[in-house]
Amino acid sequence: EEDIHYAVEKELMRRIGPVGGKMHTARSRNDQVATDLRIYLKREIGLVENLIDNFQKALVEKAGENIDVVMPGFTHLQPAQPVLAAHHLLAYAWMMQRDRERFADCYKRTDVLPLGSAALAGTSFNVNRQYTAKLLGFENISENSLDAVSDRDFAAEFVFCVSLTALHLTRFCEEIILWMNPEFGYITIDDKFTSGSSIMPQKRNPDCAEVIRGRSGRIFGDLVALLTIIKSLPLAYNRDLQEDKPPVFDALDNIKMCLEVISEMTESLKFAGERTLKSTDKGFIAATEIADYLARNNVPFRAAHGIVKDIVLYCRKKSKTLNELSIEEYSGFSKIFKKDIFKYLDAKSIANMKTSYGGTSKKSVLRQIDNIKQKLR
């Protein structure tokens, strides 16, 4: 047999006789293979969405468990402002929500039946394509036969969705790797997600997070490979398109593996709350709140920013933290400062002052948890 299409037809004729040869009426391998790939991806998109949902549930569960854990938030990987650990975890839950919605949108464009387009020009047989679509579970049929047999946009879009999901996983994995480093010491994960060293007995290497981070490069390569295959192809079908499946299958297999592992790894994650809170003492993390304190007392924010910058420079020169300054030292920079300034230096209080919608206050984070739970399956 030349290929699977002929093999199936031959087997059917073996079983039921020459009438099996009529199966290929009004069909071409061109529209058949496009249909097969769409049917396959429709099923797999649903499976990937379920895996994303599982990861989101793990993140939301951990957020609930760590609702009172305070940690530094970073910009440029430098201490910036205190946030709740739950708020940080939920950032990834919302990121993954966009990924799920992106796959759902991709499904709509995959759910288009090309069968009946034949080789490229349609067919002279009086076929009912709408009925065929109903039988095969498709919502829509293609509008142009030339486009239908050569279209692989849906496959490229799927691999793009996979790539962006993988990218988001790498961001989380990178933070797992950083937080596990003893210099941070923010978290621990189960031993089964780590490995030792053949020479260094003390090592607990975050292997699973590193492998997921590394697999993203392979998935990105699948996207580039598929785009390059489709690039510059004239209408309609070309044999180049037989190469579309390896990158699709590879990207799919890898993202499913990554999502399964990262969900389990997240379920095992434990925060060292005392350590994360102690880390908020570093990097003058209360500086923004001090500037806001001045602004709330009618100091223009730009002027307040300058005052606090001078305070930080003073602290660095004196090797002091913001908490170690006296009210007299604060008053030396601005008479606005009163003794109540010290309540604005507590990291947990600062985090819970961020009451704006989507902020890191406990009230806001609990609302986020409720909102995202409504979107989970």
pLDDT in tens, 22-58: 989 999 999 999 999 999 999 999 999 999 999 999 9
| Average pLDDT rounded to a whole number, residues 57-71 | 98
Q: Which residues contact 240 (CB under 8 A, 6 or more apart)?
A: 229, 230, 233
Catalytic residue among 5, 24, 76, 150: 76
What are the E-state strand segments in 122-232?
140-141, 187-188
pLDDT exceeds cutoff 80 at 206: yes
> What does the pLDDT read at residue 208?
97
Q: Measuring CA to CA, how many Å separate 117 from each of 28, 37, 39?
A: 8, 15, 16
Q: pLDDT by residue (tens digit) across 293-319?
A: 999 999 999 999 999 999 999 999 999
| Average pLDDT rounded to a whole number, residues 112-117 | 98
Amino acid residing at 95: M
Q: What angle do CA 29, 31, 36 make, to 5 degrees?
A: 85
Question: SS3 for 3?
Answer: coil
**Catalytic residue at 76?**
yes
The residue whose two tokens read 């079908």 is 237
* pLDDT confidence bin for 256, thresholds 50/70/90: very high
The β-bridge partners of 141 are 113
| Ramachandran angles phi, psi of 187, nearest 5° | -140, 165
Give 345's Cβ-side CA count (13 Å radius): 19
| Average pLDDT rounded to a whole number, residues 147-164 | 98
> What does the pLDDT read at residue 202?
85
Catalytic residue among 163, 197, 263, 334: 197
32-71+88-271 maps to which CATH number? 1.20.200.10
**Catalytic residue at 87?**
no
- What mean pLDDT value characterizes the chain? 96
Contact 244, 155 (CB under 8 A): yes
pLDDT exceeds cutoff 80 at 132: yes
Higher pLDDT, 203 or 113: 113
> What does the pLDDT read at residue 198?
85
* pLDDT confidence bin for 1, thresholds 50/70/90: low
Per the structure block, which two tokens stand in for 77?
């990987």
